[in-house]
């Protein structure tokens, strides 16, 4: 590759799915190649066909060290979104990748951005049953009043997914117990529907 680049190969060239050499290196989990490519004038925020950037790819492929390499680049856009409007943080939360979630937050990733479904990173973590990530996010400055496109809050999702410990923590933080979703269902109604007496 070094010989190709030395003789003028385009480091930002892309294929039919808009995957650049850097995106391919991330998909193949090749940190050495990523580090090599970062020495060149590369578009670090380039999006492939589904809107994923190299950073977002590291979040669902469990590559903490590569994520750290990318985050150390001055041009990185940490809150860039893909076609589902998922940021790197939302992607890591969905994937249950706590170390990358922690790294992104330490680098000032926005906590309360919403994806196309209206879910924040906290809500995405709860929806995917990633309890450890959700509990960590609850100790950050997340907005627990946010509602998604179905009118659900984090508390409603936790109740629907039968996560009693998260329900308790959200209540302790002042979550609205009487709010309703877009179907006018309350969290108490959801608990009854789930036949979860411990939540009731």
Cα distances (Å, whole numbers) of residue 133 to 13, 64, 83, 127, 138: 36, 15, 23, 11, 9
Question: Does residue 95 register a pLDDT over 80?
Answer: yes
Tokens coding 189: 């109604």
SS3 180: strand
Percent of the chain with pLDDT over 70: 96
Pick the more confident residue, 121 or 9.
Answer: 121
Q: Report pLDDT for 52.
A: 98
Q: Report pLDDT for 9.
A: 82
Angstrom distance (rounded) from CA 188 to CA 114: 25
In 3D space, the residue among 35, 42, 40 whose CA is nearest the CA of residue 58 turns out to be 35
Secondary-structure breakdown of the chain: helix, strand, coil percentages, each rounded to the nearest 5? 45, 0, 55
Report CA Rg, the chain.
20
SS3 61: coil
| Residues 116-124, mean pLDDT to the nearest whole number | 98
In 3D space, the residue among 168, 149, 148, 159 whose CA is nearest the CA of residue 186 turns out to be 159
Q: Report pLDDT for 3.
A: 73
Q: Report pLDDT for 195.
A: 67
Per-residue DSSP letter, 186: B
Lowest-confidence segment of 5-9, 114-118, 123-127 by average pLDDT = 5-9
Mean pLDDT over each residue of the chain, to the nearest integer: 93
Per-residue DSSP letter, 150: T
Question: Does residue 120 register a pLDDT over 90?
Answer: yes
Q: Which pLDDT tens digit goes with each residue over 122-164?
A: 999 999 999 999 999 999 989 999 999 999 999 999 999 999 9
Angstrom distance (rounded) from CA 59 to CA 106: 15
Lowest-confidence segment of 38-47, 93-102, 144-153, 183-192 by average pLDDT = 183-192
Length of the chain, in residues: 200
Q: Report pLDDT for 199.
A: 65
Cβ atoms of residues 57 and 88 within 8 Å: no
In 3D space, the residue among 132, 109, 129 whose CA is nearest the CA of residue 56 turns out to be 109
Q: Which pLDDT tens digit goes with each residue over 26-82?
A: 999 999 999 999 999 999 999 999 999 999 999 999 999 999 999 999 999 999 999
Angstrom distance (rounded) from CA 17 to CA 83: 14
In 3D space, the residue among 139, 131, 200, 121 whose CA is nearest the CA of residue 161 turns out to be 131
Percent of the chain with pLDDT over 90: 82
- Domains of the chain, start order: 2-140 (1.25.40.20), 144-200 (1.25.40.20)
SS3 46: coil
Q: Report pLDDT for 179.
A: 87
């Amino acid at each position: 590759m070094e010989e190709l680049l030395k003789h003028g190969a385009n480091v930002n060239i892309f294929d039919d799915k808009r995957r650049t050499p850097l995106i391919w290196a991330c998909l193949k989990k090749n940190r050495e190649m990523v580090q090599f490519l970062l020495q060149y004038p590369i578009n670090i925020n380039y999006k492939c066909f589904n809107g994923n950037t190299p950073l977002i790819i590291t979040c669902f492929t469990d590559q903490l060290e590569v994520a750290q390499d990318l985050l150390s680049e001055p041009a990185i856009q940490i809150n860039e979104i893909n076609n589902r409007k998922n940021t790197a943080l939302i992607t890591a939360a969905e994937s249950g990748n706590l170390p990358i979630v922690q790294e992104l937050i330490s680098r000032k990733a926005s906590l309360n951005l919403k994806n196309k479904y209206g879910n924040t990173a906290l809500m995405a973590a709860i929806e995917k049953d990633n309890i450890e990530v959700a509990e960590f996010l609850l100790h950050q400055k997340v907005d627990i009043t946010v509602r998604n496109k179905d009118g659900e809050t984090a508390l409603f999702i936790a109740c629907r997914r039968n996560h009693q410990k998260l329900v308790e923590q959200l209540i302790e933080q002042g979550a609205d117990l009487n709010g309703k979703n877009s179907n006018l269902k309350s969290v108490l109604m959801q608990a009854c529907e789930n036949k979860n007496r411990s939540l009731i």
